Amino acid sequence: MSKYVYTFGGGKADADASQKNLLGGKGANLAEMNKIGLPVPAGFTLSTEVCIHYNDNDGGYPEGLEEQVLAGLKNTEEVMGAKFGDKENPLLLSCRSGARESMPGMMDTVLNIGLNDDTVAALIKQSGNEHFAWDSYRRFIQMYGDVVLGLKPESKNDPDHFEDILDKARESTGVEHEKDLTVDQLKQIVAEFKAVIKKHAGVEFPTDPMQQLWGCIGAVFGSWMNDRAIVYRRQYGIPHTWGTATNVQAMVFGNLGNDCATGVGLTRNCSDGTPGFCGDYLINAQGEDVVAGTRTPKRVEETFEQDDPAAYAELVEIGKKLENHYKDVQDIEFTVQKGKVWMLQTRNAKRTGFAAVRIAVDLVNEGLIDPKTALQKRRIPADDLNQLLQPIFDPAAKEAAQKDNRLLAKGINAGPGAASGQIVFHASDAEAQWNEDNDKQLILVRRETSPEDLRGMKVAKGILTAFGGASSHAALVSRQMGKTCVCGCDQLNINYEAGTVTVGDTVLKEGDWISVDGFTGEVFNGQIDTSASEVMEVLLGNLNAEDAPTYARYEQLMKWADEYRTLNVRANAEADDAEAAVALGAEGVGLCRTEHMFFDHLDEIREMIFSTKPEDRAKALAKLLPFQREDFTHLFKTLGDRPVTIRLLDPPLHEFLSKHHMHDDPTLGPKLAKEFGVSEEAVLRRVEELEETNPMLGHRGCRLGIVFPEITAMQSRAIFEAACGLKKEGINCYPEVMVPLAGFKTEFENQAKVIRETAAKVFEEQGVEVEYMVGTMIEIPRAALTADEIAEDAEFFSFGTNDLTQTALGMSRDDYKGFIGYYQENDIVPADPFQTVDQTGVGKLMKIGVEGGRSTRKDLKIGICGEHGGDPKSVFFCHEIGLNYVSCSPRRIPIARLAAAQAALDS
């Protein structure tokens, strides 16, 4: 017969901490604590397999479970010296959930199981405390009614029969808390609670302890599938198939008098990582009182030593023993019953990014772990480094905003950080306001952003858009600039003409304050205080490293990460953000989107667009050449001897001139007509010619350079003239010229020819040569499938997973917002495919691309430069399939460095 029940108690256990999958975290650790000699009330754990069986079989249990539960119960009775249901010496039990990963508060718990009219009398005799016994009884009936019989109110509007009765009782005697009710009142409440159960659940409150126990076990297993738990699992990527274990354990009481207490504690502070035991406790209380918020708990580190010096000393010792044993900060639950300390739970504590870094580094310095262990992803999820790199909201100020109901809406958390500022709707206004006052805090609020908005985005503290997903223009530019961004916030109704943004009943005007949380996607009405990132202040030279303890630990951690990773990490950066990229550890530029450099020179680009003859186009392009050369020179200089991948012009030309631009600026049409000596109708005609029904699949990428080779020639010339110029100054640089959106080998060859011919010409003119490579983005499926052919000519590959996802999934990166939330909520996709590589589909194309490319060119250098390059899960995948580097927006570089180390250490 399979084993479903695992017992623990009296220093023995038939499981240990390694069996989390089967016993859940709580069960496995209760067993482990027994084994290392800590005081744990005896009990037994029903495994997660029982939960899976229960939920798959309509509440049925596997064969043999009943006998095993009875055996577990017998062992508990023997160790605790009491008997379940006994009228003289009753054992009371608790029944708690416990999954493989902790899901705090999501599932159910029942305490004081085994109480009925007989056992309550025995409990009075035994404890000599009538109040305690009746209070325990009423708590049990209430929990049983709520959890097992489903009377717990689901929303604010549902009646809470039990609490109503308690309220009335409190009111009638004018006391604040039920601990101050009289014994007679408690007896009366017990009777009324039983009547509530009969009336509202339609059954008698069960007096048989075994029936009570099975009811509770079923309720705990059933709570795995409650809505809260399902939503939580979805958010944290916990599979529904894991199931929870159920822990049945002897009750110990923290509410037997003033020599009793109960509490929760941490072996170190998990907000900032400061060493030292801390937590919350209450004298003369049961565990639920501490977490329920009905009484304000006291701080362990402040007053527990005075209240109970012996228990405090023992807890501190236990804390040390646990940290030494688990090699990590622990989150514990304890009860002191008549001076004796009991441990009810221990688990690795959840912590903020700040605390994670500090604790990992401190534990190495204390000799508890080595650097490899410190880097584990369960200790520091790479994404959590964000918290050290971005401004954050002052936690108290954010909490106050939540309490004041100032949360307005929620969108996609596209650019991490916290920003508070005055609303501005137009980029040009943002720029003008900022020029007047450089300290002005602005939030650019747009339906969506376009390249035209770039300058406004630069001066804004944060960006908020109503449309667009995780790889929309707003999202990727914000990330690259390191700006806080919330996009796709479709509850926003923006009226540019009226200068208002409406959310429900709230109407905000230009100049009103708004706050956006780019970590969570939350948007708040009004101002919330923020503080700057200490790490960034040091990296950007605004603060001394000696005055920055957080920076020192960050730096140490990054050193360790760099030692172990094998993937290189580059930045998606242009001139402006390249310095930050280098400061953050970029080992090169993996993607310089040259079109971003064009947006400062729209007049020249538009002149090119209006040119009908190649020679006119060349003339217009000649005006752009010096600007591009200067930009590249600056970029090469900043990167020094690191490689720089420059991608040739990619977006369709209507991104530089469209009806949208004409609409936003009514003077544009007449201005262009005058400038180019054509009629306004001719301007409009050209704008219409450029329009595309499906722009992402239209005349863009290398298709532009093929039809207009002058563009490729100008850009190549700018690159090589910049490189040669620097070489003459004694500065080496390594340009890698990248062709966008090639799908046919012939497309690549066509562009490579122009690039190489231009290089040869420039080298001859300049009298110097530089090393360079010509390669291609792999961003449409055909390129991945024919990578072996393309690699015959291409010297490197870079996966453009934004477009590769878009084209492989046939899912527009700008229009998927409308359904992706629904898809995720309904488990149709496991994650947003534009944030995390869809490994089974897009990932398969990537593997084919890598294998194909390297079958032709063994040492082909391959990277990724889509937004996924900074996503830890995708970084793991890139490591696994053998890429040479990932490239991501500058602020994600540390995250990618850490994720790359974790991937290397994991494999």
Phi/psi at 347 (nearest 5 deg)?
Answer: -160, 160
595 touches Mg ion (CB under 5 A): no
Side-chain-facing half-sphere of 869: CA atoms under 13 Å: 34
Cβ neighbours of residue 305 under 8 Å, at least 6 residues apart?
Answer: 312, 313
| Adjacent-strand bridge partners of 444 | 424, 463
The residue (of 48 and 802) whose beta carbon lies closer to Mg ion is 802
Residue 241 burial by Cβ neighbours in a 10 Å radius (0-12, 13-18, 19+): exposed
User: What residue type is 61 in one-letter code?
Assistant: Y
Residue 109 annotated as binding site: no
Instruction: State the catalytic residue, choosing from 51, 487, 865, 878.
Output: 865
Q: Which of 114, 800, 833, 853 binds Mg ion (CB under 5 A)?
A: 800
Q: Which tokens in the block code for residue 207?
A: 């007096």
DSSP letter at 256?
S
- 888 noted as active-site residue: no
Return phi, psi of residue 412, to 5°: -85, 135
871 lines the binding site for ligand PEP (CB under 6 A): no
743 part of the interface to ligand PEP, by CB under 6 A: no
- Closest distance between ligand PEP and the C-beta of residue 476, in Å? 6
- Token pair, residue 292, equals 């329920």
- Residue 135 touches which of Mg ion, ligand PEP, none (CB < 5 to 8 A by kind)? none
Contacts with Mg ion: how many residues (CB under 5 A)? 3
The one among 593, 596, 654, 686 contacting ligand PEP by CB under 6 A: 593
Please report, as residue ranges, which positions from 777 to 836 form the binding site for ligand PEP (by CB under 6 A): 779, 800-803
Q: How far apart are CA 693 and CA 704, in angstroms?
A: 17
CA distances from 135 to 128, 143, 215, 289, 831 (A): 13, 12, 21, 13, 47
**Nearest to ligand PEP of 376, 812 (CB atom):** 812
358 belongs to an annotated ligand binding site: no
- Residue 469 binding ligand PEP, by CB under 6 A: no
Give the range of 57-65, 231-239, 292-300, 773-781 binding Mg ion by CB under 5 A: 773-781
User: Catalytic: which of 473, 596, 661, 868?
Assistant: 473
Bridge pairing between strands 589-593 and 643-647: parallel
CB of 348 to ligand PEP, least distance (A): 36
For 779-849, strand residue ranges (E) read 796-799
526 is in an annotated binding site: no
Comparing C-alpha atoms, which of 592, 420, 430, 425 is closest to residue 515?
Answer: 420
Which residue in 574, 583, 709 sits closest to 647, CA to CA? 574
Number of residues that bind ligand PEP (CB under 6 A): 10
867 sits near Mg ion (criterion: CB under 5 A): no
Query: Which one of residues 453, 650, 832, 871 is an interface residue with ligand PEP (CB under 6 A)?
Result: 650
Is 325 an active-site residue? no
Q: Which residues contact 796 (CB under 8 A, 6 or more apart)?
A: 645, 736, 738, 773, 775, 776, 860, 861, 862, 863
Calpha distance 467→469 (Å, rounded): 7
Binding status of residue 870 toward ligand PEP by CB under 6 A: no
Q: Distance between alpha carbon 115 and the CA centroid of its chain, in Å? A: 44
Neighbours of 563 (CB within 10 A): 12
Q: Which does 644 bind (CB under 5 to 8 A by kind): Mg ion, ligand PEP, none?
A: none
Q: Choose the one of ligand PEP, Mg ion, none that binds residue 591, judging by a C-beta under 5 to 8 angstroms depending on kind.
A: ligand PEP
The binder of ligand PEP chosen from 122, 229, 270, 591 (CB under 6 A): 591
By a kind-dependent CB cut-off of 5 to 8 A, residue 801 interacts, out of ligand PEP, Mg ion, none, with: ligand PEP
Site string for ligand PEP, 546-585 (x = CB under 6 A): ----------------------------------------
Cβ 266 vs Cβ 299: under 8 Å: no
Query: Any known ligand binding at 617?
Result: no
Is 593 labeled as ligand-binding? yes
In the complex with Mg ion, which residue's Cβ is closer, 800 or 870?
Answer: 800
Looking at beta carbons, which residue is closest to Mg ion?
Answer: 803
Q: What is the token pair recorded at 291?
A: 């977490």
- Is residue 577 within the footprint of Mg ion (CB under 5 A)? no
Neighbours of 586 (CB within 10 A): 28
Binding region: 593, 647, 779, 800-803
Q: Catalytic positions, please?
A: 473, 865
Binding region for Mg ion (CB under 5 A): 779, 800, 803
| Residues of the shown chain interacting with ligand PEP in the complex, contacts defined by CB under 6 A | 591, 593, 650, 779, 800-803, 865-866
> Annotated binding site for substrate, which residues?
593, 647, 779, 800-803
